Amino acid sequence: MDARYAVVTAVGEDRVGIVRDLASAVERSGCNIEESRMAVLGGDFAVIMLVSGSAPHLEGLTHAAPALGAETGLQVQIHTTRPPRRGGAGRPYVLESVSLDAPGIVHAVSELLRRRGVNIEALDTETASAPWTGAQMFRMRANVVIPAGVSPGELRRELEELELERDLDIVLRPAIAPTDQS
């Protein structure tokens, strides 16, 4: 089978059974869920998934989207995409930041990364109350790829400047720990 790919997005009021409903629709269409991210955001449940299948199967899933949306109460969108890249150029790193919540943190960090040509492949953020004080804390975790021409040490120095400017705690570490060569 010549696999084709599509991105499925769905958003709607959170309720029990949404994941089962979507997984069932993908399976009925003859497609497969390759990757997915799902979360409750506010009172809504948001889904983004990469599905694969033959061209006729993906076409069937696309045509079923309006009925699936009506059946589940979700806003469902499907669009075709190219196959995922395997082992892209650059070095994988994880960037984590914790701070008091304030507007503009994601913008400031992503702007610095964009200027250096660092690709953000995944980004998760959340806010939560700090223990004891109850202060609103912000946590960000990103999987990034640092291009060959960018020094991780220099990037760390720039991130340290941003830490001081924005009162953040940022850690940048390799995504894959080096193996012991002994």
Residues 59-70: tens digit of each pLDDT: 999 999 999 999
Say if 180 falls within a structural domain: no
C-alpha–C-alpha distance, residues 32 and 53, integer Å: 6
Say if 182 falls within a structural domain: no
Say if 179 falls within a structural domain: no
pLDDT at 30 over 80: yes
In tens, the pLDDT along 100-115 reads 999 999 999 999 999 9
Q: Residue 134 belongs to a domain with what CATH number?
A: 3.30.70.260
Q: What's the predicted TM-score (pTM) here? A: 0.82
C-alpha–C-alpha distance, residues 57 and 7, integer Å: 14
| 34 and 64 assigned to the same domain | yes
pLDDT at 181 over 80: no
The predicted pLDDT at position 92 comes to 95
Say if 86 falls within a structural domain: no
> Phi-psi region for residue 57, left (φ > 0), alpha (ψ -120 to 50) or beta?
alpha
The predicted pLDDT at position 111 comes to 98
C-alpha–C-alpha distance, residues 80 and 7, integer Å: 6
- In sequence order, the 6+-apart residues with CB closer than 8 A to the CB of 25 are 61, 64, 68
| 74 and 96 assigned to the same domain | no
Say if 47 falls within a structural domain: yes
| 17 and 64 assigned to the same domain | yes
| 121 and 162 assigned to the same domain | yes
The pLDDT-based confidence of 177 (bands split at 50, 70, 90) is low
The last residue of a domain, from among 50, 81, 112: 81
| 95 and 170 assigned to the same domain | yes
Number of structural domains found in the chain: 2
pLDDT at 91 over 80: yes
The predicted pLDDT at position 84 comes to 82
pLDDT at 176 over 80: no
| 76 and 98 assigned to the same domain | no
How far is residue 140 from each of residues 26, 116, 118, 170, measured CA to CA in Å? 31, 19, 16, 9
Q: What is the domain extent for residue 57?
A: 4-81
